[in-house]
Chains A and B, each alone.
Chain A
Amino acid sequence: MAKQKTMASSPKRVVGTVLGTGFFAILCLIIIFPVFAGLLASFRPGTELIRRGLSIDLNVTTMNLDNYKYLFGGNADSVKYFMWYKNSLLITIISVALTLIICYFVAYGLTMYEFRFKNLLFTIVLATMMVPFEILMLPLYKEIIALKLVDTYVGVIIIGLCSASTIFFFRQYLSGLPKDLLDAARIDGCSEYGISVRIILPLAKPAFASMGILSAMGAWNAILWPLLVLKGAEKFTLPIGLNTLLTPYGNNYDVLIAGSMFGILPIFIIFLIFQKYIIDGMTAGAVKG
């Protein structure tokens, strides 16, 4: 009976599949559109953008590699651009590594032990997520000035090391692991810290992958806080540096548009490699409510 039904609806099914798949194909074309137009524009002089705005122009004969040649050409702009690139890489790598280590251990403490303030602390973790960062921004800025951390990478990184959402995700992951492992390791004479590093940490590798990629994306693209803390052009990260190319005295679209396209690259590559983990990571909060 059931089989007959599927056979009968088979042509309908094909039409449905074509429509469904076609819908997503069109949606994705619309989504790709601005970035594709930007990519095309990066092969034309920046003055074109100022004169005409951004649109799809597929005429290959007017395209050239001049912007990229200039960007990689070793001139003053090129040196500046790659300095920002290097700064962004440095900040991203250091802050991701520290955030993961710290948040893992905090979540480990919150999951693996019974202690007096456990539930209170977990409630606090959730509560801190309920206040938008923008409200704390100005007092934090004053605090960073008072601590003499303005215009330093420590000042940029330090406020985000105990990320509540990262702790929350690690806790969700760790609470799925059997606690018997801890007792077994204790009997074997392993110390509390030894257990957390040697027994549980290897088991949490997928969680490290998810959170690592999500924090890397956040750090690579962060703007608001670095914009406040960093003052010297030699310390800028890539987004802030690119932003300085837009000035009231004329916009340097040659470097901006080519530099933007090249700036998207590392995070796209990471995304394509680790796509599976990203989806696990970002949805941890949503499923369990």
Chain B
Amino acid sequence: MKIKNFLYSQKVAPYVFVLPFILSFFFFWVYPLITAFTMSFQDIGAIKSDWVGFANYAKLLKDNVFHIAVWNSVKYMFFTLVLLIPFPMLFAVLLDSNLVKAKGVWKAVLYMPALTSVVISGTLFRLMFTEYTTGQMNMITAALGLGTYKWLKMGWSGMLALLIVACWRWTGVNMLYFLSGLKSIDTSLYEAADIDGATGWQKFKYVTLPLLKPTTVYVLTISVYAGLAMFLESYMLWAGNSSPNNIGLTIVGYLYKRGIEKNDMGYACAVGVVLLVVALIINFAQLIVNGTFKKGED
């Protein structure tokens, strides 16, 4: 009875509520994160593991395949930011205007790719980017007089294929983020701008863009992570983790290759730590530039 009273008191109840999170946090976040760091300084064997200091990191510095993977991931992240922030934002502004009819249909269709498993969409795109002249991409480029290509065998076209898959999957999702951001903008601001005789472009530049900033920063932050950590799209596009000359290899792809396929967990964890550091640096830099840490700025 006493225990029951104790557990039911208003002082103790909140701790009971949050207990699952605390457990999950320690078991499935703190512990693996620390393990990732410690393992990156070890040579992990089947029976025993040896401390090797910075040897894994020293090896990474000289590992050309790793450099290719980092370069691919950074390039991919950069281009997804260029393609998947301005365009979805413009699409959202357009969809939010009264120039478009049947909005619900377009929203639903543009969101559809996000529902489709990467296994399915990757397979469909691999078959579209086939090197045969009967494949969809080659039919399009041939019709435009640009000739046919072995899409998934060359660096630039492989990256293009990855980016097309990314645009296909995320344009609708990002557009919905911006749409909800637009919904939170007070319409009286536009009315005031109308009275001042502002043009459409001026309204976008001085009202929409600044007030969309929290949404833009959010989308930017998740896009940096998603871009740097991309793996499955490449894995499915090349039907496995190996692509010609590693044109589709990403940081996580290399981590998977080393850790799971080659069973070299220590080295793979060093790859993971580098990914974490790069992701944190880029996002902190981006958040500082955007003034997220300044208080009371709004």
Binding site for B on A (CB under 8 A): 13, 16-17, 19-21, 23-25, 27-28, 31-35, 37-38, 41, 49, 51-56, 102, 105-106, 108-110, 112-113, 115, 118, 121, 124-125, 128, 130-143, 158-159, 161-162, 167, 186, 191-193, 196, 217, 220-221, 223-224, 228, 238-240, 242-243, 246, 256-257, 260, 263-264, 267-268, 271-272, 275, 278-279, 282-283, 285-289
Contacts and interface: CB of A to CB of B under 8 A. Distances in A.
12 contacts: A27-B110, A38-B124, A53-B128, A53-B129, A191-B8, A196-B17, A217-B115, A279-B107, A282-B173, A282-B177, A286-B214, A289-B217
B276 A135 contact: yes
A267 B115 contact: yes
Across chains A and B, which 5 residue pairs bring their CB atoms closest together, nearest first?
A109-B17, A53-B130, A53-B135, A283-B180, A20-B99
B122 to A, nearest CB: 9
A139 B49 CA distance: 14
B86 interface: no
Contacts of B172: 31
Contacts of B275: 132, 134-135
Given A31-B110, A275-B104, A287-B184, 15 more contacts: A19-B99, A21-B102, A24-B94, A27-B106, A35-B112, A102-B21, A105-B17, A105-B20, A113-B13, A132-B276, A133-B229, A135-B273, A139-B32, A242-B117, A286-B218
B100 interface: yes
Nearest to B215: A286
Contacts, number: 282
B279 A138 contact: no
Nearest to B27: A143
Contact of A161 (B16, B20, B269): B20
Contact of B117 (A121, A143, A196, A223): A223
Nearest to A238: B117
Interface of B: 8-11, 13-18, 20-25, 27-29, 31-33, 35-36, 39, 91, 94-95, 97-102, 104-121, 123-125, 127-130, 132, 134-136, 138-139, 168, 171-173, 176-177, 179-181, 183-184, 214-215, 217-219, 225, 228-229, 231-232, 236, 239-240, 252, 255, 259-260, 265, 268-269, 272-273, 275-276, 279-280, 283, 292
Given A110-B18, A193-B13, A239 B119 contact: yes
B12 to A, nearest CB: 9
Given A34-B121, A136-B29, A260-B119, A49 B100 contact: no
B100 A21 contact: yes
A69 B111 CA distance: 30
Give chain B's interface secondary structure class.
Answer: helix
Nearest to A136: B32
B45 to A, nearest CB: 13
Contacts of B180: 279, 283, 286-287
B99 A140 contact: no
A125 B134 CA distance: 50
A131 B99 contact: no
Contact of A159 (B20, B28, B94, B121): B28
A275 B108 contact: yes
Given A20-B100, A54-B128, A130-B283, A142 B35 contact: yes
Given A138-B39, A223-B118, A263-B120, A285 B17 contact: no
Contact of A109 (B16, B116, B128): B16
A128 B118 CA distance: 25
Give chain A's interface secondary structure class.
Answer: helix
Contacts of A19: 99
Contacts of B136: 33, 37, 53-56
Contacts of A256: 123
A167 B111 CA distance: 23
A21 B91 CA distance: 11
Contacts of B273: 135
B117 A263 contact: yes
Nearest to B130: A53
A200 B23 CA distance: 24
B127 A53 contact: yes
Contact of A140 (B16, B28, B232): B28
Nearest to A186: B10
Contacts of A24: 91, 94-95, 100, 106
